[in-house]
Structures are given as structure tokens and as C-alpha cells.
Amino acid sequence: MAVTFVLVLFMLLEVSHGQQYSKSVDLMTAVLTGYNPRQRPVLEQKDTMNLTLSLSVFSIRDLDEVEGKFSLVGKLGMQWRDEIINWSPASYGGASKIDLKLSDIWYPKLVLTNPFTKMTDLGEDWMTLSVTSSGDIYFFPVSVFEATCSVDVTYYPFDTQTCTLEFSELSYSGTELTLTSSGPVQLSSSLQSSQWEMISADVTRIPGSSVLVDKIKYTFTTKRKSLFLIINILTPIIVMAVLNVLVFILPAESGERLSFSVTMLLALAVYMTIVGDNLPKSSEPMSILSYYLMGTLFVSSAITVLTILNLDIYHRQGHVNQCFKSLARIILAKTCRNKSKDTPVQVKVAFADDKNSDCVSPSPTDDKEDISWQDVSFAVDRLCLVFITITNITMNIVFMTTLQSGS
């Protein structure tokens, strides 16, 4: 008896399953019979259709400041009502939803109007969409959206960029098809990028007219993650600028002063090339970092020229004119340099009972001693050291303050 009950139940389930499948086939046949996918699906063609969009962003794929390309991975949801498609679920086994191929029915040919490469609609033939019994249609294509973006690198590498994605249906005017947004942009909780941080995402509707199309514009504000660039570009440049000044401390007798200054100059030139490769090939706007590098390069070039001239002074022979002597005496007095090693010093021995005597008395000829070209070279070194150091400190303070004000 129990076996008979199980067999009957199994047969009933098979019949029900067969009926459900046949009902679905009948439903799809009924929906598509006489349907023209090239015609806008409204009963009165003068009426306006409404297309509702929703954007979900999964990740920022790239923001190439050199090429001016912004790309992200996201899902653009579309929802509209097809007035031609409707049925009674009770007539088809309770089926209230079916899935159809994209090419079977009409769908909006939505395009990205500011593409980086070519303009194509978001639909593909292999994609499917969901159709309800009331005619509501839902389509959720996932794609990589690549758009052009005008990059402002004024405050590179502490810059903030604003890029947009503009969508529109170019086949219909604003009185035939209106675009609306279902709400704010949905940002994934796992949204990450190695170079950029998403600050905000806004949506704006640009209404059309009888001759203009509707547009939905998504605006994204991103901030560069600058730690890598600070460590690998800014820090070496500042360190080289500091080391460059030390050429005026390096003794002229070592014979390495000129090679040291030229090496620093070449190193700065190489870093200018590296930074230039990461910036747009445009003069407007120019990065503040480029101006800083140019200024540092000019200072390094001036250091090289001063080093050559000072080495020429150091190796001169003969009489020193009075102007150089005066300069050397002023600077050497401040640096406590022994200006003449060959000048004898008079020493007076003091006895224990001679309380008015001094232990050491300077030579009366100290003020009249000669200044050599080597002393003049030393004085010029100290003067250049102070001047270039002040110049570098001023440049760095102005540069960092300007960058921070724009970040």
C-alpha cells in the first residue's frame, strides 16, 4: 500500500513538472509572438518612457594621468516598463517572471558618452534580462567603464582628481525617453586601489528636451595615495639637495669637489626625467613639483659653477688684491681660521709673582699678516655654504607649504 502511494505521488510530481515547463514555453511563445524589438514599447508613441539607473562600483581599475583615462569596474542597473508585455500568472502555472535574451525584446541602447576608446552600448546578445508579469524589466550589466578624464597635476603627488561617467540613450530625445537615478552610487565595502582612495561619488541628471537627450552624470572624486611617491621621489630629491651643499665643506686638496657637484647635478636631471614620465605631456597645468625640480636643478648648476670658480681661486698664485683681502678677513674672523701658519707668535713667560703679566701675547704683526689665495677660497666656500643653505631651506619651505595648501 505504501509503495503504491509513493508511485502515485511520483507520477503527480512528474505531471506537475511537465505542466510547469510547458506553461513556461507557452508563456515565452505568447510574449514574443508579434513583438517587434525595434519599436519603442509604449502603446501611445507620443508618451514618454522612463528609464531608471543605479550604479554600483566594485573597484577603481585605473586612473592614468599621462593618458587621461579613468576606468572602474561596476554594475549599471536599468529598470523600465514594457507596455506591450503583460500576462496573468494564473494562466501560466503561477509564473510571474521569465528570463529572456537581450535580443528578443526592446532594450535601451545606453552608451557612455565620454568614452576613452570607442562608443558602444552596454548590451551583448548573450546577456539576459528579467521580465515580470506587469511588464517591468530589469537589466544589470557588469562592465569595465573607461572614460576620458581631465587630470590636474598641480599638486602632484598630493593631488585630488575629479572624473565623470556620463550615460545617455542617443536614439531618443528627452521627450521620448527620460533618465532618472534610483539613488546615490553604491560603493563596495571592498573598494580598494593601490594608488587612489575614493573620496565621494555623486550623481546628477542633465535633463533633455525635444531635440536633446537626457543624461545621467556620475562624478567621482579620488585622492592619490602619496606615501610611495614621497619615499621614492620627494625624499631622494631633498636629500640630494642637502648633499649638494656639502661640496663647499669638502677640502679643495681632495680633488673630488668638481666630480661630486657634477654627480649631484646629473642625479637631479635623472629624477626630473622620472617625474616627467609620470605626468601629462601638457604645459597647463604644470606640476608644482616640476617647478621645484627646475629650481633645484638651477641651484645645483650654480653650485657647480661656483665650485669651478672657487677652485680657480684656490690654485692662483701671486698677490691678493685688497678687496679679496677685506672679504677674507671678515669671514675668517667669524670662522676662527688661523690665517697664517708661518707668522711667528710672541710668547711671554709669566712668573708666579708677576701678576700683571699675560701668559700669551699675540704678535703685533697679526693685523698686518698676508692673506693667501687659499684663505680667500676658504672664505668664499663659507659664504657660498651659508647662501646656498638659506636658498635650499627657503625653496623647501615654500614647496611643502604650497603642496599642503592644495591637498
Q: Looking at residues 56-81, what average pLDDT do you find?
A: 91
Question: Nine-digit cell at 38?
Answer: 525595434
> Mean pLDDT for the chain?
83
pLDDT at 316 (0 to 100): 86
pLDDT at 365 (0 to 100): 42
pLDDT digits (tens, 9 = 90+) for 287-330: 888 888 889 899 999 999 999 999 988 888 888 888 878 878 88
DSSP 10-75: HHHHHHHHHHHHHHHHHHHHHHHTT--TTS---SSTTSPEEEEEEEEEEEEEEEETTTTEEEEEEE
Cα separation, 264 vs 242, in Å, equals 10
Q: Is 252 helix (H, G, I), strand (E, B) or coil?
A: helix
pLDDT at 58 over 50: yes
Question: Nine-digit cell at 244?
Answer: 649638494
Q: Looking at residues 134-143, what average pLDDT do you find?
A: 94
Please enumerate in sequence order all residues whose Cβ is within 8 A of that of 388, keeping only pairs 6 or more positions apart, or say none.
244, 245, 248, 299, 302, 303
**How would residue 158 be classed by pLDDT, with cut points 50, 70 and 90?**
confident
**How would residue 351 be classed by pLDDT, with cut points 50, 70 and 90?**
very low
pLDDT at 229 (0 to 100): 86
**Phi, psi (deg, nearest 5) at residue 72:** -145, 160
Q: Looking at residues 162-174, what average pLDDT do you find?
A: 93
pLDDT digits (tens, 9 = 90+) for 77-131: 999 999 999 999 988 888 899 999 998 999 999 999 999 988 888 888 888 999 9
Domains along the sequence of the chain with CATH: 35-225 (2.70.170.10), 228-342+361-406 (no CATH)
**How would residue 283 be classed by pLDDT, with cut points 50, 70 and 90?**
low
pLDDT at 190 over 80: no
Q: Looking at residues 380-404, what average pLDDT do you find?
A: 89
pLDDT at 334 (0 to 100): 52
Answer with the residue of higher pLDDT: 16 or 393: 393
The shares of helix, strand and coil residues in the chain, as percent rounded to the nearest 5, are: 40, 25, 40
**Residue 137: its H or E element:** strand 136-139
pLDDT digits (tens, 9 = 90+) for 18-28: 446 777 788 88
pLDDT at 91 (0 to 100): 87
What percent of the chain has pLDDT above 70?
A: 85
Burial 21-59 (b: 16+ CB within 10 A, else e): eebeeebbeebeeebeeeebbbeeeeeebebbbbbebbe
Residue that has been written with the C-alpha cell 581599475 in this structure:
61
CB 63 within 8 A of CB 196: yes
Please compute, for residue 374, the number of CA atoms within 13 A of its CA located in the half-sphere on the CB side: 9
Residue that has been written with the C-alpha cell 512528474 in this structure:
14
Question: Nine-digit cell at 108?
Answer: 535601451
pLDDT at 336 over 70: no
The pTM (predicted TM-score) of the whole model is: 0.76
Answer with the residue of higher pLDDT: 335 or 40: 40
Q: Looking at residues 383-388, what average pLDDT do you find?
A: 92
Please enumerate in sequence order all residues whose Cβ is within 8 A of that of 93, keeping only pairs 6 or more positions apart, or say none.
19, 20, 23, 24
Answer with the residue of higher pLDDT: 325 or 179: 179
Residue that has been written with the C-alpha cell 712668573 in this structure:
351
Q: Looking at residues 54-73, what average pLDDT do you find?
A: 90
End-to-end Cα spacing for the chain:
83
